[in-house]
Structure 1
Amino acid sequence: MTSSSHAAPALAGAAVPSRPDPSTWGARNSHDPTAVRDDDGVYWLFSTDADADGPLRDSGAQIRRSTDLVSWEYMGCALEGVPGPARAHAGADGLWAPDVVRVDTAAGPEWRMYYSASTFGSRTSAIGLAVAPHPRGPWKDRGIVVATDHDRDGHNAIDAQLIVDGDRHHLVYGSFFGGLHLFEVDPATGFALDVPTPGAPASSPGTLIARRPRSVDTAIEGPFILPRPGGGWALIVSYDSLVSTYHVRVAVADDLYGPYVDPDGRVMTDLDEDPLAVGLTVLASHRLEGARGILAPGHASVLTEDGHQVLVHHTRFEETPRQHEVQVRRLVWTHQGWPLVAVQPWAGVREDSDESAWPSTVAELAGEWEIVDYAAPTDTVTPSRRVAVGDDALAGLVAHGSGRFTRADDAPVDAVVFPAWDAVRGRATLSFAARTSGRVVVGTRVG
């Protein structure tokens, strides 16, 4: 695959067949999503201009709203099409992968949206900035923040995320081609610090923090960086082909600008390592008992709220691979500081985020569990299996409180166990996510 992961652009002049009205979409057709919450507790989701049923009928970065991160209402687009400078540079018919962040400025709060404009397989791309007083708008374009040219540049200016680190702001971006890059942003303007004139695009690509070799089509994109508890940073990325092998991996670093490494110390910029091994897989295709097969989940962002974090991503389905929608899952941190993801979807008010009440003793983990092992090839929709967890399996585990458990023998474990809602069986239960023997295993207690 040599193109980006984003939805196909509209076909000029094409006949539009009978298809569902956007007002009925809900979570459907959300691609490359990011979510924020306003001061009234309403969630706003921004995503790529996409319609799996045919050509685009609207463009300018799709918006949805929700009160629970479960049910979504389609609200139209943030902008009226692709802003002029971005369209002139990239020839794009729609916007991709918007990232929205609230920034406190001298004039008061401002919401900033970094959007991408490009076309399939091309490095002629632009990341632009739009601003608004509220997530619902009105949004006003400020111009191009970073741009690339296919015949000049080896990297690709799409898939941006703004990282706010105290008084310093940074922009990470990139897709396929030359990997992922990071540069510092002026908090006052939202543009790169090294611009030759105010409001001009960045003059350099920034620092390379991750890449993959040509043997795997340089397939890495959709970066999202967040702080680790206790210090340092975690990089969340998507690997491989959008419609089949897409999945989410993570790496960590002490410094924001890297190097980012996986649990075995492999550096995310190393092209000599096995490209199928670098990075820790935390979410991939799978199928739970009685549920739809999740196919090619990815392009994730993280929403941080008081008491919890959730991974917001799109997915396709084993039975309908052309269809895609937004899904939300709890993100947890292990005792050793690795971000892992729940296998059960987020259930809104049914979720318990009081970590002090999470399992605190090894004995609480006994029972029958339905598990998924992400060690399988990523082109496989891995079916779950059941395991009985008893004294032998729990031997050597050390409880650290708040659902964290580790084991440091020949079968090391670094796990989080937490309350969850079993979406198939419709009941409260426990789930876990664990890093063990170089891979991640997730599961739900069923007995």
Structure 2
Amino acid sequence: MKRYSQWFSLAAAFVTALMLMFSTDQSASAAFWDTKGDNIIHDPSMIKEGNTWYTFGTGIGNGLRVIKSNDGITWSAAPSIFPTPLSWWKMYVPNHEENQWAPDISYYNGRYWLYYSVSSFGSNTSAIGLASTDRIASGQWRDHGLVIRTTSADNYNAIDGDLVIDKDGNPWLSFGSFWSGIKLTKLDKTTMKPTGSLYSIASRPNNGGAVEAPHITYKDGYYYLFVSFDSCCKGVNSTYKMAYGRSTNITGPYYDKNGKSMMAGGGTILDAGNERWKGPGHSDIMGNSVIVRHGYDALDNGISKLLINDLYWDSAGWPTY
């Protein structure tokens, strides 16, 4: 009996150790990733290279902000990108060259592609630029110059660029903020710059045009368009919220769960925040299983921080978490 008791105790201890080891290894797979460390970010876009997670975000005056993590939970600062404004920016956005916004990082055809915006707040005098690298960890980025620009003569805004690869392997860029809403254009596979028509895929004509930050992902026969509604950048007073719709064609039309067109202001709300996290928005999705966005922390003076969740899909194919 004593030997049996000792064996049972050892077995129980072994099982407990396995459970602890498993829970530690899987810490980044919880439904809500409780990020910590230097997790301050705005307009996040996340990617994994090797064993390192990188999140890119808006920068004001010091280049595009980059943070990194070995587990997706604890984050630290990495060197910024473009700490010195590129000379060509002032040609398109004079006097606002230090406003580098909303980067999008993606991997395609053996390179990492970084789309970013240079703009003045509240104006559509804006430009989307492009840089690339074969290895993020190298810190060496190739400047590809201007992708698309807008001026006060345009009824749309060239910010919030986001790369999407369609089901046939073709690259597209969605972008837009307020005015006439979200646009989409096909890209040349070599230059990764626009070729062909400009499509309108979402707008909010009865809500002051308050739609921006598009992100498209493809899953099981549908293209899902995620956007942000209303106002960001006001700390705990932000009214930002995330919405979505879907289409069988990348160029639309996109409809929400109620069948309303996203060109007519439609969009099913995914996240409007909670008591702590105000104004969540500017989402980015990895592998259709992880969703990233920022939220303003009501427990920390409304500072914008990195929020990550596992992303799920219901039986009808709609996203949830």
Matched residue of 1:286: which SS?
coil
1:231 alignment counterpart: 221
Query: Counterpart in 1 of 2:171?
Result: 169
Indicate the residue corresponding to 2:48 in structure 1: 37
What's the counterpart of residue 101 of structure 1?
106
Identity of aligned residues (%): 30
What SS does structure 2 have at the residue aligned with 1:269?
helix
Taking the aligned partners of 1:235 and 1:298, their CA distance within structure 2 comes to 13
- Indicate the SS of the match to 2:88: helix
Partner of 1:211: 203
Cα displacement (A) at 1:285: 1.6
For structure 1, which runs of at least 5 residues remain unmatched after alignment?
1-23, 51-55, 195-203, 288-292, 342-447
Matches within 5 A, 1:14-413: 26-28=38-40, 30-38=41-49, 40-50=50-60, 56=61, 58-59=62-63, 61-91=64-94, 92=96, 93-104=98-109, 109-136=110-137, 137-150=139-152, 152-165=153-166, 166-194=168-196, 206-213=198-205, 215-228=206-219, 230-242=220-232, 243=234, 244-270=238-264, 275=265, 278-287=266-275, 293-304=276-287, 309-320=289-300, 322-341=302-321
CA contact (8 A) 1:167 1:187 kept: no
TM norm structure 1:
0.60
Superimposed CA distance per residue, residues 5-33 of structure 1 (whole angstroms, 9 cap, x where no aligned partner): xxxxxxxxxxxxxxxxxxx97102x1000
User: SS at 2:254's partner residue?
Assistant: coil
How far 1:251 moved relative to its partner? 0.5
Residue pair 1:210, 1:260 contacting (<8 A) in 2 also: yes
Q: Quote the offset at 1:143 in angstroms.
A: 0.6
Contact 1:295–1:321 (CA<8 Å) still a contact in 2? no
Structure 1 runs, 4 residues or longer, greater than 3 Å off: 319-322
Amino acid at match of 2:307: Q
How much does 1:89 deviate? 0.7
Give the letter aligned to residue 208 of structure 2: D
Distance 1:317 1:80, change over 3 A: closer
Measure the CA separation in 2 of the matches of 1:31 and 1:120. Answer: 15
- Bigger RCO of structures 1 and 2 (CA < 8 A, at least 6 apart): 2
Counterparts of 1:25 and 1:123, CA distance in 2? 35
Measured in 2, the distance between the counterparts of 1:87 and 1:67 equals 37
Q: Once the 2 structures are TM-superposed, how far is the Cα of residue 193 of structure 1 from its aligned partner?
A: 1.7
Structure 2 counterpart of 1:163, one-letter code? V
Tell me if structure 1 keeps the 8 A contact 2:227–2:243: yes
**1:417: which partner in 2?**
none
CA RMSD, aligned part only? Answer: 1.7
Tell whether the 8 Å contact from 1:249 to 1:280 is kept in structure 2 after alignment. yes
**Scaled by the length of structure 2, what TM-score is found?**
0.83
Residue ranges of structure 2 left out of the alignment (5+ in a row): 1-35
- Could you tell me how far 1:141 is from its partner in structure 2? 1.1
In the TM superposition, residue 322 of structure 1 has moved relative to its aligned partner by 3.7
Q: 1:163·1:169 contact (CA, 8 Å) conserved in 2? A: yes
Q: Secondary structure at the match of 2:306?
A: strand
* Structure 1 residue 167: Cα displacement: 3.0
* Superimposed CA distance per residue, residues 315-346 of structure 1 (whole angstroms, 9 cap, x where no aligned partner): 002344541111101111111010112xxxxx
CA positional deviation for 1:85: 1.9
TM superposition shift of 1:232: 1.3
1:84 CA drift (Å): 2.1
| Residue identity opposite 2:154 in structure 1 | D
Task: Tell me the secondary structure at the aligned position of residue 216 of structure 1.
Answer: coil
User: Is the partner of 2:225 in helix, strand or coil?
Assistant: strand
Contact 1:25–1:74, Cα closer than 8 Å, also in 2: no
